[in-house]
Structure 1
């Protein structure tokens, strides 16, 4: 009798920064269950979204394709019906498929069947932030009927995930559980944590970028307590889900992945919460546990969340489709020396038409000032806008763009970015250099800064 394939559950938060987790050094103990997954499973230390806004990031994760490929390059564009999602691929392999929570890839609520991305069981809302609030969670079932779930919103969704696992324990299942937390509640622009949770964390800790930038604007000081309180409650729900899987004797046979669509800079980089090139927008938590991922592996190379789709298929023994532009990082789990590019590629829309690459050391960002980011997915002319040294400036407070000392570096990153744009099937474009600046104490040694080691000699020099 053939071995049963692993179950797969994705727990997906909305707008969660990477540095809210203990695995990334957060001092508040917000995420012990995520931290355990990262410690004993596989932790993508530098996980980067391909698009720092809701719908494009979700389209990319569901399809393994860039937003410019699916056409969902901004919010408000439904996922095309011909797009093949994780649900289609798992369903074709004999899995039961289920979706819970926020979708944001359709044109309306309730989401019509043809816009549900091929999922079988359905209990969701296209825009959950508008059909619910913290203690009133309303979603729609397969028949389009409203369903009111009891409890705090993230509890309600994770409890529904437990019920789904219990109902489908006798067959292989794939479940995508999409939370709204820690996203703000749109109509009141607040972060409604459970009673008492905001007070527990307000004023205790602030990410360095927010501490530095909030003095001149932003909403972090007002919202950070509720934001962190939401994350704490989500992690408690994650723990309940893992406990329930253990009690049903499913834990060892289930791959559980936890990640987010994008981060949150609390209006310090623009007049919204994301849609920028900075790690506060694009860097997210990502850990995977279960068959194929256990053993405490940390992947230090930048990984795109778009790579999660082919990785999950690969881990389940399902062939990765040729049209997926993401790639499975499972080979890196098995072999730390496996070949992998030292960069993640980012497309930015709505606030600007922008492009960026993030390496382990550098962030290079360009934007198209003459292009309407709501009407056009790409441009033929970009201008260098930002360059950050993440080793010495991890919170991106010192923009090095245009410095003559960094010109060779910027040229190298420009060529890498253009190559990634071409690989994403974007139209040809030019990137114009930023205006030249100088600084008396800035210089770059290419060998030291990882640009090139051609011709370098290793070992001790005799005196």
Structure 2
């Protein structure tokens, strides 16, 4: 007997930590690590070019909860609590009658246990501010609504998925017994894996999993750069093992929804806060402009997202909050700076900008614009990355042609042949910074690096060029 449906769909977000986009088979990983994610990407909606707005934990999480840029919330680096007055996903769904729950890593408070007033408005709570500090792979310690420590059994990823399944079961109602449909629920399940365990600087996978993947396939950027340094060869086996277990838990969650007759009325979104470059771009794992640091997996299924849709345009995880609200039939707050990509799901030709904007902190005060073709990165040489959220002066630092150089090994910044491209991207970046609430900065050109071998055909390489119909000449840019 099928149970009565709530008026609005349930919504679940699975949020991993430090997961590269190319850890998934949908993005070409040959190790069969993510069959569940890959199936959702194929039969649901796959955001093929998804990026974080900030490649470090707390700022990315603040953006995910609020739909606002880190410089707007003030959480531009780790260690800055989310302002208590922030309107979060929990606030929006809760005000609409949803039961809201949070499980796992928070990283938006200033202590553990997280005080009630710093929990973003979630009704039920089973989490820790910095979960990798309160737990390890086989000892998961979180805190409940009363601030009491709770130890969850099993491997950490499994323990958090088990808690998520219990939450769903507790709020699903009983078919044939409940006279009225249960309240819809919004659940945010935030995993630690595949993040490293800080105190040992390692990626502890479940027993036996690291051995499966040690010494096997490695993404080309890591393979190319590991000879110069980094930890990819040492850590990749454990990292892949963690990714595999995350996907197995994802399958269990979907099976639980299916068994409770909830799968067809539950939107499930899977994504990550940022990627991981294994110290090949700087002296740690993220906080850089490169795709290894900023590009993430993203797929959704459920009402409005089923049917095998693929979004080719660049989208940001800052766009996910308004998208989820929009798909649930709720109003999107006007102060959200992300943009619902539900129109793209419904119509691939819908209007959408061909770029995403990123802010970088802690390692630098940096700004990035990433299009389908180009990556343009500037840094502020006079700014303190731990104290300054933004700057008035930046210098061009990196320019990549990510179509012809997808592993970002050839920095084109300063080449006269690419000056026109850099100038156009500079103006686009300034525009995006202003739209995000920042003051328009001065951006200085990179020092010239003459290279007579380079030539850019404006018809082919300007980002504003669009293919002409057969029989017509392309317009002059």
Do the structures match in fold with TM over 0.5? yes
Task: Check if 1:149 corresponds to 2:152.
Answer: yes
Q: Which residue of 2 aligns with 1:18?
A: 21
Query: How far apart are the structure 2 equivalents of 1:457 and 1:302?
Result: 24
Q: Which residue of 1 aligns with 2:142?
A: 139
Match of 2:306 among 294, 311, 316: 294
Q: Which residue of 2 aligns with 1:123?
A: 126
Query: How far apart are the structure 2 equivalents of 1:419 and 1:220?
Result: 37
Q: Which residue of 1 aligns with 2:52?
A: 49
Q: Post-superposition shift, 1:320?
A: 0.4
Contact 1:446–1:452 at 8 Å: present in 2 too? no
Residue aligned with 1:447, SS? helix
- Change in CA separation of 1:459 and 1:373 when aligned onto 2, cut-off 3 Å: same
Task: Check if 1:308 corresponds to 2:320.
Answer: yes
Residue aligned with 1:448, SS? helix
Where structure 2 has 5 or more consecutive residues not aligned to the other structure, the ranges are: 173-181
Q: Which residue of 1 aligns with 2:165?
A: 162
Q: Post-superposition shift, 1:94?
A: 0.2
Query: How far apart are the structure 1 equivalents of 2:304 and 2:114?
Result: 34
Query: How far apart are the structure 2 equivalents of 1:451 and 1:10?
Result: 34
- Change in CA separation of 1:335 and 1:190 when aligned onto 2, cut-off 3 Å: same
Query: How far apart are the structure 1 equivalents of 2:125 and 2:467?
Result: 59
Q: Which residue of 1 aligns with 2:296?
A: 284
Residue aligned with 2:58, SS? helix
Task: Check if 1:272 corresponds to 2:284.
Answer: yes
Task: Check if 1:376 corresponds to 2:379.
Answer: no
Contact 1:21–1:285 at 8 Å: present in 2 too? yes
In terms of mean alpha carbon deviation, does 434-443 or 216-225 score higher? Answer: 434-443
Q: Which residue of 1 aligns with 2:178?
A: none
Where structure 1 has 5 or more consecutive residues not aligned to the other structure, the ranges are: none
Task: Check if 1:367 corresponds to 2:379.
Answer: yes
Task: Check if 1:428 corresponds to 2:460.
Answer: no
Q: Post-superposition shift, 1:265?
A: 0.3
Contact 2:107–2:130 at 8 Å: present in 1 too? yes
Contact 2:414–2:448 at 8 Å: present in 1 too? yes
Query: How far apart are the structure 2 equivalents of 1:142 and 1:2?
Result: 28
Residue aligned with 1:231, SS? helix
Q: Which residue of 2 aligns with 1:35?
A: 38
In terms of mean alpha carbon deviation, does 22-31 or 447-456 score higher? Answer: 447-456
Q: Which residue of 1 aligns with 2:244?
A: 232
Q: Which residue of 2 aligns with 1:324?
A: 336
Which aligned pairs between 1:214-229 and structure 2 lie closer than 5 A? Answer: 214-229=226-241
Q: Which residue of 2 aligns with 1:251?
A: 263
Contact 1:14–1:183 at 8 Å: present in 2 too? yes
- Change in CA separation of 1:378 and 1:165 when aligned onto 2, cut-off 3 Å: same
Contact 1:194–1:229 at 8 Å: present in 2 too? yes
Q: Which residue of 2 aligns with 1:353?
A: 365
Query: How far apart are the structure 2 equivalents of 1:441 and 1:39?
Result: 42
Query: How far apart are the structure 2 equivalents of 1:181 and 1:457?
Result: 47
Aligned-residue Cα RMSD (Å) equals: 1.4
